[in-house]
C-alpha cells in the first residue's frame, strides 16, 4: 500500500512539474506547442532503448512506411521518412541526442505544412519500474489548401501518441 501511495504522489508531482495530463493536448499560440505524454509500466531505460534507435520509426508510426539516412545516425544526420503508399515524405534533421537525459530533438525541414518544426522526445524515470514518454512540438503553421492548422495539430497529436505507445509496447 505504501508503494502504491508513493507512486501516486510521484505521478502527481511529475504531472504538475511538467504540465502533463496523460492525454494529448494543444495550446493555440503563434509558436504552437503540442505536448503528448504516455505512462509506461516499464523502466525509463527500456523505453529509451526503443526511442533512441531513431531508425525504427516505421515500427512506431503507421504514417511511415520506410526511412533512409543521410550523414551520421545521430546529431547532424538526416532521415527521410516515406509514407506507406510512397505518395509523400518528410525530412528530419537530428539536432540533439542525449543518452544521459534520455532526450532527442529533431527538426522537420521538408514535407509538412509548417516551418520551424522542432520535435522532442523525453523519457522521464518515475521510479518503481515506471516511466513517462513526453513528446513536444513547436511549429509555425503555413496556410495551405490541403490541410488546416487544426488538422495538422490533430495529426501531430495522434502520431506522437501512437509513437510513444508503440515504443512502450516494444519495451515490454
Q: Which three cell numbers stand for residue 86?
A: 510512397
Q: Which domains does the chain have, with CATH numbers?
A: 21-171 (3.30.530.20)
Q: Is the pTM of this model over 0.75?
A: yes
User: What percent of the chain shows pLDDT beyond 90?
Assistant: 78
Q: Using one digit for the tens of pLDDT, what is the confidence trace for 18-77?
A: 333 343 333 333 555 899 999 999 999 999 999 999 999 999 999 999 999 999 999 999
Q: What is the pLDDT of residue 24?
A: 39
**CA nearest neighbour of 26 among 125, 153, 163, 160:** 153
The residues facing 119 across adjacent strands are: 106, 137
- How does 107-136 read in b/e, with b if 16+ C-beta sit within 10 Å? bbeeebbbeebebbbbbbbbeeebbbbbbb
Decide if 160 contacts 23 (C-beta within 8 A): no
Contact 58, 159 (CB under 8 A): no
Torsion, Cα 123 169 66 135, to 10 degrees, reads: -30
CA 48, chain centre distance (Å)? 12
Per-residue confidence band for 11, with pLDDT thresholds at 50, 70 and 90: very low
Amino acid at each position: 500500500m505504501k508503494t502504491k501511495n508513493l507512486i501516486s504522489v510521484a505521478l502527481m508531482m511529475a504531472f504538475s512539474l511538467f504540465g502533463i495530463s496523460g492525454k494529448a493536448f494543444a495550446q493555440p499560440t503563434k509558436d504552437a506547442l503540442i505536448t503528448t505524454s504516455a505512462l509506461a509500466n516499464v523502466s525509463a531505460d527500456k523505453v529509451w532503448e526503443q526511442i533512441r534507435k531513431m531508425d525504427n520509426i516505421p515500427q512506431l508510426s503507421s504514417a511511415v512506411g520506410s526511412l533512409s539516412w543521410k550523414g551520421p545516425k545521430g546529431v547532424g544526420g538526416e532521415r527521410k521518412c516515406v509514407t506507406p503508399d510512397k505518395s509523400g515524405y518528410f525530412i528530419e534533421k537530428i539536432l540533439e541526442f542525449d543518452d544521459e537525459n534520455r532526450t532527442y530533438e529533431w527538426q522537420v525541414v521538408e514535407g509538412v505544412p509548417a516551418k520551424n518544426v522542432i520535435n522532442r522526445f523525453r523519457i522521464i524515470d518515475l521510479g518503481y519500474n515506471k516511466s513517462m514518454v513526453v513528446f513536444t512540438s513547436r511549429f509555425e503553421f503555413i496556410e495551405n489548401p490541403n490541410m488546416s492548422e487544426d488538422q495538422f495539430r490533430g495529426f501531430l497529436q495522434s502520431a506522437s501518441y501512437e509513437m510513444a505507445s508503440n515504443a512502450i509496447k516494444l519495451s515490454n
